[in-house]
Structure 1
Amino acid sequence: MKGVTEEHILREINWVEKNEALVSLLEHETTFQVTSLDSGLEAEVLKIATSTADYVLKVWNKESKPDVPMQYHTLKALHSHGRAVTKPLGWGTDPNGSPVMLTSYDGRPVLSVNPSKIDRLAKMLIDIHNLPLDSISGLGLPKHDFISYFYPRIEEFPDIQHPLTELVQRANMKQECVIHGDYHLGNILEDERELTVIDWTNVQIGDPRYDIAWSTVLFWIYVSEEQAFFYRNVFCADNRCEAEELKLFEAIACLRWILLSRVDHPPIRKDTIARVRSILNSNKYLGSKLLEV
């Protein structure tokens, strides 16, 4: 963070809201050790080490300007209802006017999975979807237009736009619960045996079937087809959706990855395109020609 003294970093923030833990931290800690963590395109992420515990400070000092107060209160609600989310301690603005939020430090992104962990990951998402809406009724969670929100610049790619529009109409989208919007292993931290969901930039009231499908497609692309099937079956066994229904939503989700591969820079490894092609070829709603453009 430019213009901020690292050893006093938390005291130089204008805190709009802070919990008791942060108040105590500001009163009793003399210095803070700051380490940069892997950051995305939207924000700078810093690890703040103290004599008693570690924390994470997220600073939205790039192009993205999300509703940080809404994220903070959503996390408070999820955490208070026992969901596996990072604990928020406070939010405010830094000396440059960028919004910030301080949360607990909950480890590093998940690097490997096994059937037991996959089962837990799926049930963590189910728990999020099961959050009672009356518990967040005053938070102002948005209900976005699905296509315009998740498919930026779609109008530039009619080969994606046309099938997407048809699939979304067929899907009968519902906005009936809290969804994460970008649930994948990079947004799940692991500390020993504890798992925690982070990065709530895309939180909204939406369709849980899309949340499930997007995470399943990313499992298939970046983990393995076999483990994606195992992950998907947890939701089907829990009656979250039927397999055929999920196929439709996986087609919708895969079209998003195809779009992002053209307008953004999703991770592409040596076998990524082959895995995407396998999704396209195995899904009756899609076709591999989408990769040939």
Structure 2
Amino acid sequence: MIQISATKWHCSTERLEQLIAQEQSVQLEPMASGLEAEVTKLLLAQEAYVWKVWNGDSKPDINRQYRLLQALIGSGVQVSEPIGWGIDPGGNAVLVTSHDGLPPKKLDDEMLAELAVQLAELHRMRLDGIAPELLPTFDFVPYFFPNIAMHSDLHERLLQIIDRVQYRYEHLIHGDYNSGNVVFSDGRCTIIDWTNGQMGDPRYDFAWAYALLRIYASDKHAAVFRSAYVAIMPLSLVEEQAFEAIAVIRWLLLNRLVGLLRQTTTKSKAQQIMAGNPNLAGLSL
């Protein structure tokens, strides 16, 4: 149950104060939620907001995320406006942002190219206007590959690949860039869900988005995205194959942990990618 006025707010804005004052008039609509948090749409008059509560095991630093969104807006990145953050009566962190549209139900070439350009521009942006404490550096393997040591086949292969390509911590990455974390409204594209925003390697950020398009959309869609991205941020074939393998290993791990076979074709698409990438030879679902 959402309790706006009962939440202990640590950062607030005028728009949040309006939500609190008119709480009885706020309408709720469920939204698609991820593995880490529950998401609800708040409607008040002609305004829409997103209420995101981390009520599971994940306990990210929401204050940092709130301030990062503010800094990204100041740097010209198209992200949701942070409205407030606090702790609800259940002790769970809550972030309220503007509602900026919906993920695309059907991807077209124009959307895919826009997704790629947005990501490439993020990777090229200057960071001197963002406070260093908002740009943390986490150890790549423990952060993105939870409990991988329990899966020796994936762990050993991952370490071998990373040793060859040398993961870098030189740019801001989104950490979970995919078509579900980009919304559109009247042709405007907004990047959402910055829980995993951190310093990292753009090659991984790109490869994760590319691999998910291949697995859940199609190679044709993925090719349009890839072409638009590498036109701005070139990659060698060796780098592309290595980081695609790293991304697929993460997908394989998460599939083993929580199950990601969402469609009847998902398994065959993943197996096709694995068969075509020499870095993944011998691995299985």
Please, what TM-score do these two structures have when normalized by structure 1? 0.91
Instruction: Please point out which of 52, 75, 88 is paired with 1:81.
Output: 75
CA distance 1:138–1:159, change in 2 (3 Å): closer
In the alignment, is residue 39 of structure 1 matched against residue 33 of structure 2? Answer: yes
The alpha carbon displacement at 1:225 in A equals 0.8
In the alignment, is residue 247 of structure 1 matched against residue 241 of structure 2? Answer: yes
Contact 1:141 1:205 (C-alpha < 8 Å) held by counterparts: yes
CA distance in 2, matches of 1:94, 1:74: 21
Residue of structure 2 equivalent to 1:278: 272
In the alignment, is residue 110 of structure 1 matched against residue 134 of structure 2? Answer: no
In the alignment, is residue 186 of structure 1 matched against residue 150 of structure 2? Answer: no
CA distance in 2, matches of 1:173, 1:138: 20
Contact 2:4 2:23 (C-alpha < 8 Å) held by counterparts: no
Deviation sequence 1:18-50 (CA, Å, 0-9, x none): 223333444567621122222223222111100
CA distance in 2, matches of 1:135, 1:30: 40
Contact 1:92 1:101 (C-alpha < 8 Å) held by counterparts: yes
Q: In terms of mean alpha carbon deviation, does 234-243 or 154-163 score higher?
A: 234-243
Residue of structure 1 equivalent to 2:122: 128
Higher RCO (CA 8 Å, separation ≥ 6 residues): 2
CA distance in 1, matches of 2:38, 2:262: 23
The alpha carbon displacement at 1:193 in A equals 1.7
Residue of structure 2 equivalent to 1:201: 195
Q: In terms of mean alpha carbon deviation, does 239-248 or 212-221 score higher?
A: 239-248
Q: Which runs of 5+ in 1 are unaligned?
A: none
Please, what TM-score do these two structures have when normalized by structure 2? 0.93
In the alignment, is residue 146 of structure 1 matched against residue 140 of structure 2? Answer: yes
The alpha carbon displacement at 1:213 in A equals 0.5
Contact 2:49 2:96 (C-alpha < 8 Å) held by counterparts: yes
The alpha carbon displacement at 1:241 in A equals 2.3
Three-state SS of the structure 2 residue aligned to 1:285 is: helix
Residue of structure 2 equivalent to 1:158: 152
The alpha carbon displacement at 1:141 in A equals 2.6
Instruction: Please point out which of 124, 131, 142 is paired with 1:137.
Output: 131
CA distance in 1, matches of 2:182, 2:233: 24
CA distance in 2, matches of 1:149, 1:241: 24
CA distance in 1, matches of 2:236, 2:53: 40
CA distance in 2, matches of 1:186, 1:268: 14
CA distance 1:134–1:84, change in 2 (3 Å): same
Instruction: Please point out which of 228, 235, 255 is paired with 2:229.
Output: 235
The alpha carbon displacement at 1:274 in A equals 1.0
The alpha carbon displacement at 1:17 in A equals 0.9
Residue of structure 1 equivalent to 2:90: 96
RMSD: 1.8
Three-state SS of the structure 2 residue aligned to 1:136 is: coil
Q: Which runs of 5+ in 2 are unaligned?
A: none
CA distance in 2, matches of 1:240, 1:94: 45
The alpha carbon displacement at 1:196 in A equals 1.6
The alpha carbon displacement at 1:174 in A equals 0.7
User: Percent identity over the alignment?
Assistant: 38
Contact 1:55 1:105 (C-alpha < 8 Å) held by counterparts: yes
CA distance in 2, matches of 1:125, 1:68: 22
The alpha carbon displacement at 1:95 in A equals 1.9
- Kindly report structure 1 stretches of 4+ aligned residues shifted beyond 6 Å: none
Q: In terms of mean alpha carbon deviation, does 238-247 or 166-175 score higher?
A: 238-247
Residue of structure 2 equivalent to 1:291: 284
